[in-house]
Structure 1
């Protein structure tokens, strides 16, 4: 094998190692920004001008993943939405789950008509939409906003939100995932060798990739990955800055740790429905969903502003700058990881093409924009 081929494959594997460390539970933090009083009612009044109520009552069950269950912020927002939904003759019964895997499986087996989960997990229902959170694919929040406008605001991409009987009806930004290490001396991919990395036990490929790099995978789940980092059981995790305070990740960072100031993944959440069940009772379902998607895009800026505000709460002492040469190396690394995962059928090539066009829209002079890759 040519030396360059070996090096790019190693970089791709390294990106997979870091991507595997991401724990989706982190975005369910208890101090997520609260919606101002009366805001939900105001939003429903605006939407009411664009969409009339259903002709007859529709009763549905929705599985909600919130690590804090009924006491969590996601479930709380879902309750507010359910109350407002009655104005459209839609009656929603919410079923809270503290385990995302159980929530997804309950939806898959028909216990719910809808489910709220991370887009990473939603890939099992729609490989195209589930590929949105690809490693390194959306380097800034400006990229995230553009991607959401393409996916949620365009009628051309609407059919791609449907996969069999399932449909992703909504996407929401949840924040960038940053690599966090308990020792600043782990300042390169090469130095991750021998270190312990938290991996999600529901994706067995993660452990394989970590072993190939020489690091040690530590099976974890959404309820204990932070505790393992804080107690020194693992050396490396990746999570949104939103998780820093509520999951007390500063304990794991200690006095020697740091956070790479470079997003690994821009995380989103997905709302998925079983359209086979619902469209039988809502003949104009597609028209209604398209209106709701476009309506939701009006508030992407507010969501991103809230995320930025929380990121500012991470003390400056923890942030680790990434040099321009290293950043370029990591960009190549993540691109190779995307190519490898696409070739293996993990990422959808159509989504990879869209995300590349988004990146080239923001930076047309980037090297990748003159190639046929992705």
Structure 2
């Protein structure tokens, strides 16, 4: 059926208006059969309507996808919001600590992608951010004894990304030890007990038998660390005028489906893996995270407009959040 639809769409597009093929480098740990890749096939249908025939080159290692994009082997890149930060600070800030707190807030953000004030911040001279696939909240996964106090993080080895100063500052603030990882080796290092705590979305661990492969004591702390998403950036000069806007419209129209998928992944993680911490500890941690985050807003690392926007959305979702109280 999908092939038939594609052929029908191609028949409606004149040869004169055809913009040709464009390739996106796509990071998906599960390859061409992964959920991220399947979602991009839906985006491809909208691209066809806008005179672009998208081809995808899949990478299980994110560094390889980014390298290929930088070498201009692809005109588009679908990779983590943490690492697309270098191309667009606005969309990269979606992975900021203490910002997008859950899939509901992520969904509200998706609804605004074609807002004029948001859209202009996604368009740069060399790169343009055109969409975001929610993967879910990153939680602390522990293979050490249960931790229910921030003070118990002292001297624990926490896996963080090397080029992420706010994550480094957060680890230092709880007197833990930073262990640098990337998405290609993080889970293996965790399984080998070379790190004690791994921040990851449920999507990242669902393929594993957690108790068997990570250890019987493994638990997931039910408290958000950051938000993980796949961001899409392109070189706009390679595409027809208005292409980015049309793709962002697709994400706006499909915000519910995209967020629902992320929620479904989190719901698939069995209840006995989750560990709760007290409201008192949550409030103390939130205050610490907000302080560090605001420091990096002042330094220009996080996009200030994005931070204020997410604060407003978060207050709609959770009026009791500390920055929402008056």
> Match for residue 97 of structure 1?
59
> Match for residue 157 of structure 1?
118
Within 5 Å, which residues of 2 pair with 1:330-341? 330-341=285-296
Number of aligned positions between the proteins: 323
> Match for residue 59 of structure 1?
21
Q: Deviations over 1:300-359 (max 9, x none)?
A: 222222322232222222211222212211221221121122223321111111111112
Unaligned runs of at least 5 residues, structure 2: none
- Partner SS state of residue 123, structure 1: coil
Change (3 A) 1:218 1:355: same
Looking at structure 1, the residues matched to 4 and 115 of structure 2 have their Cα atoms a distance apart, in angstroms, of 27
TM-score (norm 1): 0.76
Change (3 A) 1:255 1:135: same
> Match for residue 108 of structure 2?
146
Q: Deviations over 1:52-73 (max 9, x none)?
A: 7771242222111123444544
Aligned pair 1:317/2:272, yes or no?
yes
Looking at structure 2, the residues matched to 294 and 177 of structure 1 have their Cα atoms a distance apart, in angstroms, of 26
Contact 1:64 1:96 in 2 (8 A): yes
Looking at structure 1, the residues matched to 42 and 55 of structure 2 have their Cα atoms a distance apart, in angstroms, of 12
> Match for residue 360 of structure 1?
315
> Match for residue 295 of structure 1?
250
Q: Which moved more, 1:121-130 or 1:134-143?
A: 134-143
2:79 corresponds, among 114, 117, 142, to 117
- Partner SS state of residue 132, structure 1: helix
Q: Which moved more, 1:71-80 or 1:189-198?
A: 71-80
Change (3 A) 1:87 1:354: closer
> Match for residue 137 of structure 2?
176
Looking at structure 1, the residues matched to 322 and 165 of structure 2 have their Cα atoms a distance apart, in angstroms, of 33
Looking at structure 2, the residues matched to 96 and 239 of structure 1 have their Cα atoms a distance apart, in angstroms, of 21
Q: Deviations over 1:129-188 (max 9, x none)?
A: 2112221212232211112212x1312321111122110011121111111111343222
1:223 corresponds, among 142, 160, 184, to 184
1:136 corresponds, among 98, 102, 106, to 98
Shift of 1:216: 2.6
Q: Deviations over 1:259-318 (max 9, x none)?
A: 11122222221111101232xxx2xx22x4334322332322222223222322222222
Looking at structure 1, the residues matched to 23 and 35 of structure 2 have their Cα atoms a distance apart, in angstroms, of 19
Q: Deviations over 1:206-248 (max 9, x none)?
A: 5576456432333322222112212222110011112223144
Change (3 A) 1:193 1:106: same
Q: Deviations over 1:85-109 (max 9, x none)?
A: 5565423332222321232232233
Unaligned runs of at least 5 residues, structure 1: 1-37
